[in-house]
């Protein structure tokens, strides 16, 4: 049985255990937070309310109808949960109280989950290392000298460190999958439009998706099942029924040329996985999609352009705290944004404003959009021939804190293999695989056709044996849970 299954079973049998599970989560997360600096908001009074709410739900809906009964879930701090703060790890939103529920928060509540805490992240979800938080960097529970990846670094660290069974992150260019890979857990980015973004603070609206972290495929699927669905509050949600074509038993894999930026460990793990997939009876088809090498350039034009537009509202008037010394309206905007935004956020706003400016819009923004369409078509071609695309999640394992801090281009390279799925709006799962050449986790990725979200999860199970999350008991705080569950 999985972590979540055990907890739910325990709570169905004895509702009073929900409170003791929340206490265990508090103890385990205190350990993870102490080492990894994961938690931005957690309050006892709110948790008591959550426990009571779930008890009421049992009476009205029946315990058997609550798929996440009493399961504590950590939530990235760019998702609004009413009654909590939502800071996006930015100074500008330091005192911002969530005025309403994100749809995913409502769905968690309806499934009987406990919305446990708000988790640290890169400021406004911009980053690949979680060093861009205004409230301090997050550390990797597998090696405290290293980054957990970003921007959902604390969502990954909370689960990988054995603090919580489940968490939510958001993924614009890899922010769920890259941290999942760096910390050795499962992370899933759904097809664009499968999970509502209502209540998620927007970074790049045509790319953002909310998705789950867990320690197993089954638990990812459980949480994803709760989150997915059309939402009248988010017009970009779609209900396109996915009709799986007859299985072709072919898996697309990257040509060696595309793997040249991989570290030797990641390269050899990839080769091992390929042999294993082949040995399970699948034919491997080597692909070199046009535009894939340009993905970073496309993304780092489109995402900043959308970010510059989305972040215009944080000006000290509409949203965000205001710099008190400002006297004129212009000073309010300038001083507030200069003081309360961090340097990566400013870099994106400047880049985005530049590529959208009258003289350059055609050359950059439009061109990048055309290249994005081309990439989408390339993926459609791949999926005419193959069931899935299999590729590494990241070119390397987790790097040291500070290692890429002064080199944004080296930092952006981390997103090489994750960005294509966002640009093409496709579902993508990162799962942990064994690293035979070193101690750090490695993640591999399955990308499928639009809407094949459930199928990807099932496919990963069918090639299981590749994957290995570490034992809960060996993680930073996991023994606290293991004792409780045994």
Q: Please report which helix (H) or strand (E) contains residue 187, including its range.
A: strand 186-189
User: Counting contacts by CB under 6 A, is residue 129 touching ligand GLN?
Assistant: no
Per-residue x/- marks for ligand GLN, 365-404, CB under 6 A? ----------------------------------------
For residue 86, give every residue at least 6 positions away whose Cβ sits within 8 Å of its Cβ, in sequence order, or none.
77, 78, 79, 80, 93, 96, 97, 98, 118, 201
85 is annotated as an active-site residue: no
| Nearest distance, CB of residue 439 and ligand GLN, angstroms | 24
Nearer to ligand GLN, 133 or 172 (CB): 172
Work out which of 38, 84, 106, 151 binds ligand GLN, going by CB under 6 A: 151
Q: Which of residues 43-62 bind ligand GLN (CB under 6 A)?
A: none
Q: How far is the CB of 19 from ligand GLN (least distance, A)?
A: 35
Residue 353: CB partners within 8 Å, gap ≥ 6? 308
Contacts of 126 (CB under 8 A, 6+ apart): 132, 151, 203, 307, 344, 345, 348
SS3 state of residue 479: helix
Clarify whether 175 is annotated catalytic. yes
Q: Name the catalytic one among 21, 76, 263, 475.
A: 76
| Cα 21-226-463 angle, rounded to 5 deg | 95
Nearest residue to ligand GLN, by Cβ distance, number only: 175
List the catalytic residue out of 105, 175, 191, 467: 175
# residues near ligand GLN by CB under 6 A: 14
Compute the distance between CA of residue 379 and CA of residue 420 in angstroms, rounded to an integer: 9
Catalytic residue among 21, 90, 151, 191: 151
Rounded-to-integer distance, Cα 136 and Cα 112, Å: 32
166 by DSSP, 3-state: which? strand
Nearer to ligand GLN, 46 or 135 (CB): 135
Confirm or reject binding of residue 420 to ligand GLN (CB under 6 A). Answer: no
Verify binding: residue 216, ligand GLN, rule CB under 6 A: no
Q: Is 127 in the site for ligand GLN (CB under 6 A)?
A: yes
Q: Which residue has the tokens 């990439």?
A: 375
Which residue from 125, 138, 181, 195 is in contact with ligand GLN, where contact means CB under 6 A? 125
Contacts (CB under 6 A) with ligand GLN, residues 155-194:
170-175
Residue 212 touches ligand GLN, criterion: CB under 6 A: no
Cα dihedral 472, 473, 479, 484 in deg (nearest 10): 70
174 is written with which tokens? 């890899």
Q: Which residues bind ligand GLN (CB under 6 A)?
A: 125-128, 151, 170-175, 203, 303, 415
Residues acting as catalytic residues: 76, 151, 175
């Amino acid at each position: 049985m999985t972590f979540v299954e055990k907890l739910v079973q325990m709570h169905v049998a004895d509702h009073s255990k929900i409170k003791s599970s929340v206490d265990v989560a508090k103890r385990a997360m205190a350990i993870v937070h102490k080492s990894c600096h994961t938690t931005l908001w957690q309050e006892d009074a709110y948790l008591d309310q959550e426990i009571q709410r779930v008890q009421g739900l049992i009476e009205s809906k029946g315990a058997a109808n609550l798929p996440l009964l009493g399961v504590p879930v950590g939530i990235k701090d760019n998702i609004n949960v009413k009654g909590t703060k939502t800071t996006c790890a930015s100074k500008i939103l330091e005192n911002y109280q969530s005025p309403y529920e994100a749809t995913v928060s409502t769905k968690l509540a309806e499934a009987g989950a406990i919305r446990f805490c708000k988790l640290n992240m890169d400021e406004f979800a911009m980053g690949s290392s979680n060093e861009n938080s205004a409230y301090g960097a997050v550390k990797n529970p597998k090696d405290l000298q290293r980054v957990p990846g970003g921007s959902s670094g604390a969502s990954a660290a909370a689960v990988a460190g054995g603090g919580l069974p489940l968490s939510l992150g958001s993924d614009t260019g890899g922010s769920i999958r890259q941290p999942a890979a760096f910390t050795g857990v499962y992370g899933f980015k759904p097809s664009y439009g499968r999970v509502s973004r209502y209540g998620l603070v927007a970074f790049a609206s045509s790319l953002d998706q909310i998705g789950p972290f867990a320690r197993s495929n089954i638990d990812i699927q459980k949480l994803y099942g709760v989150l997915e669905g059309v939402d009248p509050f988010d017009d970009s949600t779609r209900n396109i029924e996915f009709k799986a074509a007859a299985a072709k038993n072919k898996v697309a894999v990257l040509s060696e040329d595309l793997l040249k930026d991989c570290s030797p460990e990641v390269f050899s793990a990839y080769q091992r996985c390929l042999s294993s997939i082949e040995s399970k009876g699948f034919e491997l088809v080597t692909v070199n999609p046009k535009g894939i090498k340009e993905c970073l350039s496309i993304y780092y034009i489109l995402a900043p352009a959308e970010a510059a537009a989305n972040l215009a509202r944080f000006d000290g008037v509409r949203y965000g705290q205001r710099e008190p010394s400002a006297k004129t309206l212009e000073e309010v905007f300038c001083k507030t944004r200069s003081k309360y935004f961090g340097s990566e956020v400013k870099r994106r706003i400047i880049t985005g404003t530049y590529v959208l400016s009258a003289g350059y819009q055609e050359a950059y923004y439009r061109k990048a959009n055309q290249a994005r369409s081309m990439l989408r078509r390339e993926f459609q071609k791949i999926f005419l021939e193959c069931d899935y695309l299999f590729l590494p999640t990241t070119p390397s394992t987790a790097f040291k804190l500070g290692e890429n801090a002064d080199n944004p281009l080296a930092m952006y390279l981390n997103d090489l293999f994750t960005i294509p799925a966002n640009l093409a709006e496709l579902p993508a799962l990162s799962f942990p695989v064994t690293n035979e050449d070193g101690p750090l986790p490695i993640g591999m990725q399955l990308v499928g056709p639009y809407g094949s979200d459930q199928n990807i999860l099932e496919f990963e199970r069918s090639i299981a044996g590749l994957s290995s999350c570490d034992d809960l008991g060996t993680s930073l705080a996991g023994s606290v849970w293991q004792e409780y569950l045994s």
